Chain A
Amino acid sequence: MSATARLPRKRFYRARAHSNPLSDSHFPVPICPSDVDFASHYPQFSGNPMVRFADVGCGFGGLLVALSPLFPDTLIIGMELRDKVTEYVKDRIHGLRPTNPGHYNNISVVRTNSMKYIPNYFHKAQLSKMFFLFPDPHFKEKNHRRRVISPHLLDEYAYVMQLGGILYTVTDVDELGDWMKSCLQNHPLFEPVGEDEITTDPVVKLLTSATEEGQKVARNGGQTFMAIYRRVASKED
């Protein structure tokens, strides 16, 4: 059997483009981080594996697959709210593992609402990178509270990130780009990553090239807007 035959095909995993983050959840939610069975997600990593990167709203998992060979010793988790999309990513990873022995063992996916349950998955200062790629723009002002980057939610992301950890955001929507940038800029626990550091960071290129959404934007010749910030100790004191 060829490698492609084992991989899932997207057309069997069709789902709505959006999901309501405000609705009550019908999937199991871990009570606390130690309640999550990460060992079953990463069977090749023994002991008590600690996830370091989180891709929030991972979609079809393009970034996970691209990050995996770059950071073979780092555990990476994708978080996705839409169940069918999560199933796709799961099948994709399980399809990739046997055909590429020794690879893709460090990535996995969970179905969850990360806007509600981030602290249920990660300990304080656990993550060194968080990704928010092409989030839902929610244009209407009434729906701004559904945006995944917001002043109050940044408090929780800052809590699960270690000092020096980097939070990446990218969007093709001008208005949302401004919004995310201003939220991060005004937050006392984040400061912008320097221009030269951005150019040397190998991850930055993946933000627009690795994800399905990014490729779509590139195909259509669209613009992308990045905001990359570092978790710092409080700027206030």
Chain B
Amino acid sequence: MSVIISQNQNPNPWFCTPLSLIDLALRNTYILYMEEVLIEESESGNSCTDEAAPALIAVHPTESSVVVAVGSELRVFDLKGDSAVSPLDELGGPHHSASIRAISFSSDGELFASAGDDKIIKIWKTDSWNCIRTVQSEKKVSAVSISQDSQYVTFADKFGVVWIVSLKEDRDTKAVPILGHYCSIITSMKFSPDGRFIATADRDYKIRITVFPRNALKGAHEIQSFCLGHTDFVSCLAFVCSQDQSKGFVLSGGGDLTVRLWDYISGSLLYTCALDDKAGILEASEIEENDKRAVTDICASSDGSLISVAVQGFNGVMLLSCDLVAKTLSFVKNVSMEKSFIPTSLVLVSSKERLWTVMGASNLTSSDLNNNNQRLLTRVRIISFLQKDPLDSCSRDPALLEDSQVPGGEKLLMQLQGCLDAAAQEAAFAAAAAAVRTSLQNMMIKKQYSVERRELRKRNRNDKKIKS
């Protein structure tokens, strides 16, 4: 682009000189290039303005509180105290000012971390919802995680570097880089349940399993394995382990619309579950042909017996099951929700047998005109797996809870959704789903240029000086 700008500012020598054959050739190239630029502008026009961040949900391990992040807002509901909570920063640190992209509870539930496009990471105490630390990042943050011992917070930036902050040390210690995916976007980052490994997934189809060292501030240099097999970006990870905890596995989902099961110690692919042919997903989604769809979130019970998957364009949740002895995945069923409700984030609370889902986007506001205080709109739905027959452990019948059955009731919905009649705003949700999808696609899918276009771009590189 800068080529064009500079040429517009200076009188263009190409058009002043008499037209020799060479000039003519140059002009043709230039005209072609202008066309090129116009094409690019029309293609990339939307991506700059409509960067929609999906709404996220996180639930305390014992379900004592629920957090929804939408845009720059953190909405907390204390289920134990049955009240809405506003997170506070008594240290006077900045609040989130741009879309929150990653949230996470620590495994003991005492800490919570949030981070995103405003390049800050905030760490909260969950008993008081007070911010205990605000960390600055150099780049936008795409993933955040708290180590199993709650001693460290790691976050990944959009250039593929994972940083670490120690919570033991002083408040002013800076984050240090511990590992890097070379110039890729890290999409998901999780600690293994035993805390020995940190798994990172990226846009370049890779999952890296790194040994998490005792002195993590010195960097995580020892790579245990790479889990390679996805044929498109990887979007989400979930750890599962066998009942006796002796063997660990990781599940992943991605842009190739598969869920894969890996032995992360060796990095070997154990099973691939392709979702594109799964029970009516095509009909249910009513999505145009040749449109790519991706797995956007995956959430599993610790033993893998219940896996929930969110898929772009599918209004509901897909349930899978993992047999860790046979090392297979099997499709269980689809739980459909109301039209246009396409979950953007999932949390499974094993202890309560409930799956929390949220749908929303940073650009989705309530279209209700009576509502003067415009709040970002989200929709929370819960699927309950409570067994009807306690003797039959296999028949977990998923039931979609009505708004009146939701724990916390109207108060919770008001706090997390921003309004009570979210279900009625179907058009808005449909628009949000499309926006979330487009922005994910823009971020993850590599642009394919034809050979001619690439040659043209090379010939018109902006570091080449134009002789006048």
Give A residues with C-beta under 8 Å from B: 21-22, 24, 26, 31-33, 115-117, 119-120, 124, 145, 151-156, 158-159, 187-189, 234, 236
* CB proximity to A under 8 Å, residues B216-230: 218-223, 225-226, 228-230
Question: Could you tell me if A151 and B204 are in contact, using CB atoms closer than 8 angstroms?
Answer: no
Complex Cα–Cα for A21 and B182 (A) = 10
Is B177 in contact with chain A by the CB < 8 A criterion? Answer: yes
Closest 4 CB pairs of A and B: A152-B180, A32-B228, A159-B223, A119-B226
Question: Could you tell me if A124 and B267 are in contact, using CB atoms closer than 8 angstroms?
Answer: yes
Q: In the complex, given contacts A31-B205, A115-B183, A119-B228, what are 8 additional A-B residue pairs having Cβ atoms less than 8 angstroms apart? A: A24-B446, A24-B447, A124-B267, A145-B159, A156-B223, A188-B222, A189-B221, A236-B215
Name the prevailing secondary structure of the B interface residues. Answer: loop
Mind listing 7 A-B residue pairs with CB under 8 Å? A26-B449, A31-B205, A116-B184, A119-B208, A155-B220, A156-B182, A236-B213
Question: Could you tell me if B226 and A22 are in contact, using CB atoms closer than 8 angstroms?
Answer: no
Contacts of A158 in B (CB 8 A): 221-223
CB distance from A189 to the nearest CB of B (A): 6
Contacts of B210 in A (CB 8 A): 155
Question: Could you tell me if A152 and B231 are in contact, using CB atoms closer than 8 angstroms?
Answer: no
Contacts of A151 in B (CB 8 A): 177, 219
CB distance from B362 to the nearest CB of A (A): 26
Residue interface mask B175-207, A partner, CB < 8 A = 1:
001011011100000000000000000001110
Question: Could you tell me if B206 and A119 are in contact, using CB atoms closer than 8 angstroms?
Answer: yes
Name the prevailing secondary structure of the A interface residues. Answer: helix
* CB proximity to A under 8 Å, residues B224-259: 225-226, 228-231
CB distance from A94 to the nearest CB of B (A): 24
Contacts of A188 in B (CB 8 A): 218-219, 221-222
Tell me the nearest residue of chain B to A188, going by C-beta.
B221
Question: Could you tell me if A153 and B182 are in contact, using CB atoms closer than 8 angstroms?
Answer: yes
Complex Cα–Cα for A21 and B183 (A) = 9
Contacts of A116 in B (CB 8 A): 182-184, 204
Partner of B182, one of A31, A115, A187: A115
Complex Cα–Cα for A120 and B184 (A) = 15
Give B residues with C-beta under 8 Å from A: 159, 161, 177, 179-180, 182-184, 204-206, 208, 210, 213, 215, 218-223, 225-226, 228-231, 267, 446-449, 454
Question: Could you tell me if A26 and B454 are in contact, using CB atoms closer than 8 angstroms?
Answer: yes
CB distance from A164 to the nearest CB of B (A): 16
Question: Could you tell me if B183 and A22 are in contact, using CB atoms closer than 8 angstroms?
Answer: yes
Complex Cα–Cα for A187 and B210 (A) = 15
Partner of B179, one of A32, A152, A189, A236: A152
Complex Cα–Cα for A158 and B182 (A) = 15
Question: Could you tell me if B221 and A187 are in contact, using CB atoms closer than 8 angstroms?
Answer: yes
Contacts of B447 in A (CB 8 A): 24
Complex Cα–Cα for A124 and B448 (A) = 31
CB distance from A67 to the nearest CB of B (A): 26
Contacts of B221 in A (CB 8 A): 154-155, 158, 187-189, 234
Tell me the nearest residue of chain B to A120, going by C-beta.
B228
- Given A26-B449, A116-B184, is A155 in contact with B228 using a C-beta cutoff of 8 Å? no
Complex Cα–Cα for A158 and B179 (A) = 13
CB distance from A29 to the nearest CB of B (A): 8
Contacts of A120 in B (CB 8 A): 228
Tell me the nearest residue of chain B to A237, going by C-beta.
B214
CB distance from B273 to the nearest CB of A (A): 17
Tell me the nearest residue of chain A to B180, going by C-beta.
A152
Question: Could you tell me if B229 and A32 are in contact, using CB atoms closer than 8 angstroms?
Answer: yes
Complex Cα–Cα for A22 and B368 (A) = 46
Complex Cα–Cα for A159 and B215 (A) = 20
CB distance from A182 to the nearest CB of B (A): 14
CB distance from B155 to the nearest CB of A (A): 16
Contacts of A152 in B (CB 8 A): 161, 177, 179-180, 182
Complex Cα–Cα for A217 and B333 (A) = 67
CB distance from A160 to the nearest CB of B (A): 9
CB distance from B205 to the nearest CB of A (A): 7
- Given A26-B449, A236-B215, is A124 in contact with B225 using a C-beta cutoff of 8 Å? yes
Complex Cα–Cα for A91 and B226 (A) = 33
Complex Cα–Cα for A53 and B454 (A) = 33
Complex Cα–Cα for A58 and B366 (A) = 58
Complex Cα–Cα for A158 and B161 (A) = 18
- Given A152-B161, A152-B177, A152-B182, is A189 in contact with B205 using a C-beta cutoff of 8 Å? no
Question: Could you tell me if B222 and A234 are in contact, using CB atoms closer than 8 angstroms?
Answer: yes
Contacts of A187 in B (CB 8 A): 221
Complex Cα–Cα for A33 and B266 (A) = 14
Contacts of B448 in A (CB 8 A): 26
Question: Could you tell me if B223 and A155 are in contact, using CB atoms closer than 8 angstroms?
Answer: yes
CB distance from A143 to the nearest CB of B (A): 12
Complex Cα–Cα for A22 and B446 (A) = 13
Complex Cα–Cα for A31 and B208 (A) = 14
Among B182, B226, B228, which residue has the most Cβ atoms of chain A within 10 A?
B182
Complex Cα–Cα for A155 and B219 (A) = 10
CB distance from A124 to the nearest CB of B (A): 7
Complex Cα–Cα for A9 and B298 (A) = 54
Complex Cα–Cα for A26 and B221 (A) = 29
Question: Could you tell me if A236 and B228 are in contact, using CB atoms closer than 8 angstroms?
Answer: no
Complex Cα–Cα for A116 and B226 (A) = 13
Tell me the nearest residue of chain A to B230, going by C-beta.
A31
Complex Cα–Cα for A189 and B213 (A) = 13
